[in-house]
Amino acid sequence: MTVSTLTNSIVYQGNGATTTFTFPFPAVAASYLDVTYTDQNGGVTLIPKGQYSVQLNAPIAPNPTEIGGTVTYPLSGSPIPVGSTLTIARDLPGTQSTSLANQSTLYQPVIEAALDYITMLTQQNSNLVDNAVLFPLSDPTGLNHTLPPVANRSGQFVTFDGAGNVTVALTVSGGATISSFMQPFCLSANLVSAQNFLGINAAGYVPVGAEFDFAGLQAPQYYFMELGQAVSRTGFPELFNAVCPLYASAQIQTGNIWVILPSRPDGLAATTGIRVGIPAEAPGVIPAGTTVVSLHPTNPWIQLSAAPTGNGSTIRLCPYGNGDGSTTFNLPDSRGLVVAGLDPQNGTGRMTASAAGGVSASAVGNYGGEQQHVISANEMAYHQHGYFITDQTHTHYTIDPLNIATQGTVTGYTGGYYDTGQGTAVTYSGANLLAGSSPGANDNLTSFAGGNWAHNNVQPTHIRLKIIYAGRATF
């Protein structure tokens, strides 16, 4: 066997003095050797063949293939310095130049030289495989080990997805990768493009869950109309967390219907804005269908409609409904309603539920009010109606208390009088002339007036779409 070494490359460390470097493997021809220089900073340069010389050792008979030789570099100038390296490697073309004629003499050196060439090609390919990225044979079948096309991988780095398939991604400082979903944002040419990708207008950041009046007929992209509809939790997780907040660091105990909520960063009471009757969720801890039935007047506690079956530290509240309880949740229902601000302090003169048809502003999701209302007698201002008395011969006019000092006193009624209309006080005995007196034989009542219709409570109003910012969908 002529090819007695398994190597096809050798690396030398620079020392600032050596310019002659030997190699111990067959090269076949000087042109099949490549010489590569690596500087102190790791920069790699393939040296042009005219800048170094190669001297091959002579073959040792009867072997037709030489073993080893010498490379001289540089041909002039300073030797390679300390910290740099010089790599000498064999790189054979994948060709077959030996031709055996039919019925001709088979020369042993020719056949052996061809076999040597094939062996060296095999070694060369093995060396390439040894320096390649390899996947264990124990990997599951069906994985993708092929990189994306050049247009999809340009400017990116090779990485692996959650299943172990080869893919590409951008990287940031610290070695973290940027997902394919966020790459359009990171590669945006300007701020406006990045904002458009995220659904953020150029005016600034819009928090998920923000509500707006919209003049169009349909909600724009990234928004929902507020119709009380059920929306996917996994499809819009940011909106789910905004509309149905998760209270962390809560205290839930088995069998205890009172749950202690954590303090709020804004300093308001922990139960601020929570409405009695809304769904509460803590999967595996409280039963499905549980609601809030009361709020403690002084402590940060909420009372549940069902006792917890386990201990827990997180609870989710859904002020507009929790959909099917697992995969959906409900948006606010703003159809035909105007919106008022939450009033945690229940301020005097603000909205309360004390009046008929009123609404309390103390909890998120409360609603009420009337479009029209029929006034009851108790809702009217305290007042009197004047009237006059008619007998068979003449008319008695209403009492005029402003003229009591000059007109005199009516007989039978202390402090009152009546006027004939001519400015003369006269005596009228046995009659009570004031409306609203206790029933008596001489009382008179005014006639009914009015239609008892409801009056309109609607202020001048212009209808718009009420929309809520949902953020980007995950699907």
Please indicate, yes or no, whether residues 179 and 110 belong to a single structural domain of this protein: no
pLDDT score for 175: 63
Please indicate, yes or no, whether residues 17 and 70 belong to a single structural domain of this protein: yes
pLDDT at 355 over 70: no
Please indicate, yes or no, whether residues 17 and 56 belong to a single structural domain of this protein: yes
Would you state the torsion angle of the CA atoms of residues 21, 25, 30, 36, taken in this order, to the nearest 10 degrees? -50
Alpha-carbon gap, residue 22 to 276, rounded angstroms: 88
Please indicate, yes or no, whether residues 168 and 71 belong to a single structural domain of this protein: no
Q: Which of 224, 260, 227 is nearest to 239 (CA)?
A: 224
Q: Which amino acid is at 254?
A: T
Please indicate, yes or no, whether residues 156 and 114 belong to a single structural domain of this protein: no
pLDDT score for 390: 52
Alpha-carbon gap, residue 232 to 238, rounded angstroms: 11
CA terminus-to-terminus distance, the chain: 63
The answer to the question of residue 243 being in a domain is no
The answer to the question of residue 166 being in a domain is yes
The answer to whether the Cα torsion of 448, 451, 457, 462 is positive or negative is negative
Alpha-carbon gap, residue 57 to 67, rounded angstroms: 6
Please indicate, yes or no, whether residues 15 and 119 belong to a single structural domain of this protein: yes
- Which stretch, 106-110, 143-147, 462-466, has highest mean pLDDT? 462-466
Please indicate, yes or no, whether residues 110 and 175 belong to a single structural domain of this protein: no
Alpha-carbon gap, residue 468 to 63, rounded angstroms: 85
Please indicate, yes or no, whether residues 26 and 110 belong to a single structural domain of this protein: yes
Global pTM value: 0.50
Q: What is the three-class DSSP state of 351?
A: coil
If pLDDT is split at 50, 70 and 90, which confidence band does 273 have? very high
Average pLDDT, the chain: 82
Return the structure tokens found at 55. 């001297």
The answer to the question of residue 339 being in a domain is no
pLDDT at 397 over 70: no
If pLDDT is split at 50, 70 and 90, which confidence band does 22 have? very high
pLDDT at 402 over 50: no
Counted domains in the chain: 3
The answer to the question of residue 18 being in a domain is yes
Give the least confident one: 11-20, 181-190, 299-308.
Answer: 181-190
Render pLDDT for 201-255 as a digit per residue (tens, 0 to 9).
655 578 899 999 999 999 998 899 999 999 999 999 999 999 999 999 999 999 9
CB distance 315 to 282 below 8 Å: yes
Please indicate, yes or no, whether residues 62 and 118 belong to a single structural domain of this protein: yes
The answer to the question of residue 216 being in a domain is no
CB distance 241 to 329 below 8 Å: no
Average pLDDT over residues 164-191: 76
pLDDT score for 200: 67
CB distance 51 to 123 below 8 Å: no
Residue 336: which residues within 8 A CB-CB, separation 6 or more?
none
Return the structure tokens found at 303. 């009372």
CB distance 306 to 332 below 8 Å: no
- The alpha carbons of the chain give a radius of gyration, in whole angstroms, of 48
Strand 230-232 with 328-330, pairing: antiparallel
Burial class (CB within 10 angstroms; exposed 0-12, middle 13-18, buried 19+) of 245: middle
Render pLDDT for 375-389 as a digit per residue (tens, 0 to 9).
888 888 887 766 555
Please indicate, yes or no, whether residues 113 and 169 belong to a single structural domain of this protein: no
Average pLDDT over residues 118-130: 81
Residue 413 belongs to domain spanning: 375-452
CB distance 436 to 384 below 8 Å: yes
